[in-house]
Amino acid sequence: MSKIGSKRTSCGRKAMLLGSGELGKEVALELQRMGVEVVACDKYPDAPAMHVADKALVFNMLDPEALRENIEREKPDHIIPEVEAIATPVLVQLEKEGYHVTPTANAAFLTMNREGIRRLAAEDLGLTTSPYRFASDFDEFVEAVKTVGIPCVVKPIMSSSGHGQSVIKKESDIENSWHIAQEGGRAGAGRVIVEGFVDFDYEITLLTVRSVAGTSFCEPIGHIQIDGDYRYSWQPQAMTPEAKSKAQEIARKITDALGGYGIFGVELFVKGDEVIFSEVSPRPHDTGMVTMISQDLSEFALHARALLGLPVPSIRFYGPSASRAVVVEGNTRCIEMENLDKVLEEPGVQMRIFGKPEICGHRRMAVILATDDSVEEARAKAERAYNKLNVTVH
């Protein structure tokens, strides 16, 4: 029998979020609704999840000693990785010592590193992936590009939101792509993956939930990325029955291999009825923010419920929906979202402003959500709302 005691008592539950961005904020809110005490951690103060958490801790989560020290002091019932930049070997050791990591410490370890998850998918599970090679230095990198072929995509093995990612379209791009990858990795300079281009019709995120009730799937989410960073998503993405079945089969295989309870964002390429594995995140996915308007249980509510050991008997999908990310460029600590009355004037439009304290370069600061009678109409509505938004960078 699952139970949750009174908050901040000896019988209460405490969760520790390792990463406190906009996705972590929504997870924190869902945990709060279940009476769970939330400790939000990140490398900078005033991160979004810290606005709603019971306690905030600022430290470098890539520092093994700092990570262990903070976890041992807080003694959380649930450790919830929400970003890639974590000293995951510490989590593996702490799990052996009795701590509970969502979904598992090994899942966090493998998926925070593109090499670990790609080798698991392609070499251990035999899933179809794009051709790939890894490289640790520039000479290996040049050889990897030669083997995979041009054009190809280059990514640090640890990065997110497109940081450090580039496309090599001609031989003269090779050196610059290497430098971009070295500068953009979450853990600093290091190994990279070189991936061959895949011929696909569209790409999807298949949100897959593992709970005590078994494995459940949300409706497939279509999305568009620019420079590796999500800009638009919609649900459902139209798929043939055969492609959808294959996608679910692949998602089930990879998430069964990772184990544990929680939500996984499984990224897949689709060409006709063929499905190719791309990546998996053992946590809510940025493209899945559309579920805040499209489902009775958002991906964040599903994650919270599953990691607490509670069942997910069903997921009710309301209808065609879309999201439009608001990405702002600048270098400031003062950003104003203006004209919100016009942004929200149409029925079926919602908005989430993340409350991030500053921008250095470009940063996702909000998301617009919309529903309508079809995906096309929902996407058009979200875009209309976005075009009415004015953002002032002071």
Question: How many Å apart are CA 326 and CA 329, to the nearest integer?
Answer: 10
Q: Is 287 a catalytic residue?
A: yes
Token pair, residue 11, equals 């019988």
Q: Is 364 a catalytic residue?
A: yes
- Residue of 20, 130, 159, 160 with catalytic role: 160
The answer to whether 61 and 86 have CB atoms below 8 angstroms apart is yes
- Residue of 287, 291, 294, 298 with catalytic role: 287
- Residue of 114, 191, 364, 379 with catalytic role: 364
- Residue of 267, 281, 299, 352 with catalytic role: 267
- Residue of 26, 82, 84, 286 with catalytic role: 286
Q: Is 279 a catalytic residue?
A: yes
Q: Is 286 a catalytic residue?
A: yes
Token pair, residue 228, equals 């590796």
Q: Is 355 a catalytic residue?
A: no
- Residue of 12, 162, 196, 228 with catalytic role: 162
- Residue of 22, 279, 299, 372 with catalytic role: 279
Catalytic residue ranges:
160, 162, 267, 279, 286-287, 364
